[in-house]
Copies of this chain bind each other. A is one copy, B any other.
Amino acid sequence: MKKIAVVGASGYSGEELVGLLLSHPEVDLAAITSRQNAGRTLAQVFPKFGHQRKAKNLRFTEPRPEWIAQEAEIVFLALPHGIASEFAVPLLDRGCKIIDLSADFRLRSAAAYLEFYGHEHPAPDLLLKAVYGLPEIYRREIQKASLIASPGCYPTSILLPVIPLLKSLLIKPTGIIADSLSGVSGAGRKAELDYLFVECNESIRPYGIPKHRHLSEIEQELSLAVSAPVTIQFTPHLIPVNRGILTTLYLAPEKHFSDAAMMHELAEQISNCYQAAYGNEPFVRLLDEKSLPDTKNVVGTNMIEIAWRLDPRTGRLVVMSAEDNLLKGASGQAVQSMNILCGYPETAGLQ
């Protein structure tokens, strides 16, 4: 039983991580930290964990790296952007392995970090050491990583559907549009007027246009897939559901399909491409031609659903994905990476 800590366990991702790790058959959740809840038991802060046997003795502590390193071999950081790196450095020094859910180590380039996050990266040396924790793409690298930068929720919903198509040269790397719809938990557990019930309920709104921070990691990974710079259009919207991201992607096939035969052939290539990429993946559900994604089919699970349609009227390929932003988009994916890192079955604690 590996000993695990969660730093920043009182946000939505942290809470979700705690729930997953408590019921994980192979690990022992040894420490949880939270500045605002230090001293309180897990059950006091989250009554719903009150009855889990393993939760009985868990109490939030102040987040001190030296304590955490004594308690745990693997540390999840579920902290706001910019703060995670303060913990990663001392914890790595003390021999812990780190799975970071923030954006702090997702970019390989300190310059890109500066451009999108507005300040110098505090530990640029670690950027090249970190592995981008998208298991379906970087499984092998994750096995040997000491610092895993777990992807953001929007990036996951975009990268998994797009990367195989790009790598197979089935679509053009230009003109990609990602239109994403996110539940409100994506904004985090923050006491801000914008996220009050009354402000979100019965409201549909775009935000962060046109240059959302997540663009940086999305474009980085798409660029790596084609070994050339890729720039995309990305529009996030806030939707009144607790959880779930639905992304609609507008893509340009490399080939025209001006008649039914060409369309049929292209469809087969796309189908084969996805089948080859994800046919055996435990957490990717490729939908058939009669089904479309629905967040309610993935919420509470670590699955991502992918469906696609060729549109002969416009010559475009429309791809749609659905995931739970807190699971496949955050904590579930982080646990999936932990399973790979530790050599556990990849689905352990995730079904």
Determine if A233 and B292 form an interchain contact, defined as CB atoms under 8 angstroms apart. no
Interface size class of A (residues with CB under 8 A): 35 or more
Which of A56-64, A74-82, A91-99, A202-210 lies at the interface? A202-210
> Which residue on chain B has the smallest CB distance to residue A235?
B248
Binary contact readout A28-62 vs B (1 if CB under 8 angstroms, 0 otherwise) = 00000000000000000001101110000000000
Binary contact readout A179-221 vs B (1 if CB under 8 angstroms, 0 otherwise) = 1010111000111110111111111111101110000000000
Determine if A309 and B204 form an interchain contact, defined as CB atoms under 8 angstroms apart. no
Measured in the bound complex, the distance between the Cα atoms of B76 and A120 in whole Å is 50
With both chains docked as a complex, state the minimum distance between the C-beta of A332 and any C-beta of chain B, in angstroms.
13
Confirm or deny: A331 has a beta carbon within 8 angstroms of a beta carbon on chain B. Answer: no
Number of this chain's copies in the complex: 4
Confirm or deny: A320 has a beta carbon within 8 angstroms of a beta carbon on chain B. Answer: yes
With both chains docked as a complex, state the minimum distance between the C-beta of A206 and any C-beta of chain B, in angstroms.
5
Which of A105-113, A158-166, A268-276, A298-306 lies at the interface? A298-306
Contact status of A198 and B192, CB under 8 A, knowing A206-B292, A294-B205: no
With both chains docked as a complex, state the minimum distance between the C-beta of A9 and any C-beta of chain B, in angstroms.
15
> Which residue on chain B has the smallest CB distance to residue A248?
B235
Chain A contacts to B: CB under 8 angstroms:
12, 23, 47-48, 50-52, 177, 179, 181, 183-185, 189-193, 195-207, 209-211, 231-233, 235, 237, 239-244, 246, 248, 250, 282-283, 285, 287, 291-301, 303, 305, 309-311, 313-314, 316, 318, 320, 322, 351
User: Known pairs A48-B297, A52-B351. 10 more at Cβ < 8 A?
Assistant: A47-B285, A189-B193, A201-B241, A202-B242, A203-B244, A203-B294, A204-B241, A204-B244, A211-B313, A237-B248
